Amino acid sequence: MIKDKEKTILKLKSAFNLGYYPSRFDEAYVATTADNYKIYDLINCMSHACFNLTNDILSKIHFNYHDTLVFGDFYYMEDDYVEDEHSVIEKSVNMMVDFVKKVGLQIQPSNTSNLQQPNEWNIALYFNSYDYHFLLQEKSKVWSSKFGKNKDLEFFNELPNPYKHAFLPEYKLHGIYTITNPNYKGEKSIIKSEKILNL
C-alpha cells in the first residue's frame, strides 16, 4: 500500500504542479464515459472533495483502482488495538493533511466558508465511530457529497451537521478546511491535457 500511495501522490502532483484547481461544478467529472466506463467507481468522498479531478485529468494521470484504494485508507486504527476516539480522529486527520500536502497543495483549518482567491476551495471533514467523510463546497456555495462508489452526488444548501447516509451511524462535523494550490497562476494555469505528465 505504501508504494501505491507514493504512485498516487506522484500522479496528483503532476496535475497540481501545473496549476490545476477544481472547476467545482462547472466541469465536474462525468459519471460514465461514452464507452460506458464507470468513472464514479474511481471517485470517493476524498478524491471528490479534496482534488475534484475532471474526466480529462483522471485519464491523463492514469488514475485507476489502485489509486482509489489509497483514498480509502485514511482511518487510523492499530491492529488488534482500539484507541480512544479522539486519538483515532487526530491521527486520521494528520494522515489526510500530510497526504494533501505531499501532492503540492496547502491545507489549513478555516472558520469561514468565504473564499478570497480563485485557487482556493473549501472542504468539510466528518467522522463517525469507524469512518470519515468529506464534503466539497461548490462555486454556488452549496455543498456536495459523493459517498463511496455511489453514482450520484448529494447537494446541501447548508452544511449538514450531522451528515446522515442510509442506515450508517451519523457523521459529526469535525471541521472546515481551505485547500490552496500555490502553483496557480491565473488563466495561464488552465491545464492543457497534453501537458500533463504521462506516468
Q: Give the pLDDT confidence score for residue 36 in this predicted structure.
A: 47
Alpha helices in the chain (DSSP H): 2-16, 45-46, 55-60, 65-70, 85-102
**Domain coordinates in residue numbering, the chain:** 2-195
Q: Give the pLDDT confidence score for residue 177 in this predicted structure.
A: 95
Dmax (CA) of the chain = 51
181/14 Cα distance (integer angstroms): 12
Question: Which tens digit of pLDDT belongs to each residue from 67-125?
Answer: 877 776 665 555 445 567 778 888 889 889 999 999 999 999 987 767 778 889 999 99
193/57 Cα distance (integer angstroms): 7
Mean pLDDT in residue range 14-18:
88
Question: Which tens digit of pLDDT belongs to each residue from 115-166?
Answer: 778 889 999 999 988 888 999 998 888 899 988 777 778 899 999 999 998 8
Give the pTM: 0.83
pLDDT over 80 (residue 169): yes
Which one is predicted more confidently, 18 or 196?
18
79/172 Cα distance (integer angstroms): 24
